[in-house]
Amino acid sequence: MVKLFLFFAIVVNIFANERIIALSPSVNEIVFALGKGDEIVGNTTYCTFPKASVDIAKVGGYFNPSLEKIVALGPTLVIMQHNNYKLNQKLQKLNIKTKLINIDKLSDIKESIISIGEVLHEKGKANSIMEDINTELSKIKNIIKNKKILIVFGHNISLASRVFVAGQNLYFDDIINESGNINALQSQRKGQPVLNMENIIAINPDIVILLAHSMKEKGLSRNDLINPWLELPINAAKTNSIYIENKLYAGIPSDRLVYFLKDYQGILNDYKKTVGSTKELKSETNE
């Protein structure tokens, strides 16, 4: 009888609900995608998707989560990115279970989704998310080839200085490579690459993708963001290949990566249709 009780106690403990704190929007979205959103008792200020995330207790921002607020919520599991390693050490000293993930590169994102799925006993759902991502990755291959693509962050109405771009240390570089193209910025520097107008002209991208969510909230139009690029002597300006991706999910590496991949596929197809047909027409004219 005692053995039977212990067996049931172990089973109940294994499948009992966690009290999860998600310390980044990516972690928050992955946990919700795995069907465990109702077990999140705390997240950060920028965790706004899905809508239910907004009403969850906030423990601070991305770089400054409060240890006191975290502990007060009585978590059984805190999931965070590697930049929170100091906080991780403090929580471990308090015997609070933690999970550290890395989401810089495409392989890291995949591994994190699987590992969080395992911790939350949702490996099947994690594998399903992985299948969706791999399916969309296969669709972006070789639509166009060997084009230099520059991915830019923020709402730049001037290109004179401090233009933040995706270098080779982020998953955007992997996506560009997977599609059979080249990151316009070839640099192994660590940290966030920052360019100015001269740098941009020097690398001469064929396609520029501006990641600029919340344009309307900032009172900006598409022309406000695109026109400065059209004034540059670069291939992307000559072919009018400046694209805006204004969806918030574009900058959050989670299960919603599939939506960015679909948008990216649309950009490549548009380039192939417009610029490719223009080149064919010029070739026929020359003949």
Burial class (CB in 10 A: 0-12, 13-18, 19+), 35: exposed
Spatial separation of the C-alpha atoms in residues 232 and 235, rounded to whole Å = 9
Dihedral angle of Cα 36, 42, 47, 52, to the nearest 10 degrees: 60
In this predicted model, what pLDDT tens digit does every residue of 243-254 receive, in sequence order? 999 999 999 999
Mean pLDDT of the region 83-110: 94
Q: 182-206, pLDDT tens digit by residue?
A: 999 998 776 789 999 999 999 999 9
141-286: what CATH class?
alpha beta
Hey, which residues does 195 pair with through a beta bridge? 163
Which SS3 state, helix, strand or coil, does residue 165 take? Answer: strand
**Domain 7-137 falls under CATH 3.40.50.1980:** yes
Distance between alpha carbon 6 and the CA centroid of its chain, in Å? 43
pLDDT at residue 286 in the model: 36
Q: Which residues contact 167 (CB under 8 A, 6 or more apart)?
A: 173, 183, 185, 187, 189, 192, 193
pLDDT at 6 over 60: no
Q: Would you say residue 8 has pLDDT above 60?
A: no
Confidence check: pLDDT of 261 > 90 = yes
> Span 62-81, mean pLDDT?
94
**Averaged pLDDT of the chain:** 90
> Residue 37 has what pLDDT?
97
CATH 3.40.50.1980 domain range(s) in the chain: 7-137, 141-286
Confidence at 7, pLDDT banded by 50, 70, 90: very low
The residue among 52, 53, 65, 67 whose CA lies nearest residue 25 is 53
Q: What is the reported pLDDT for 16?
A: 65
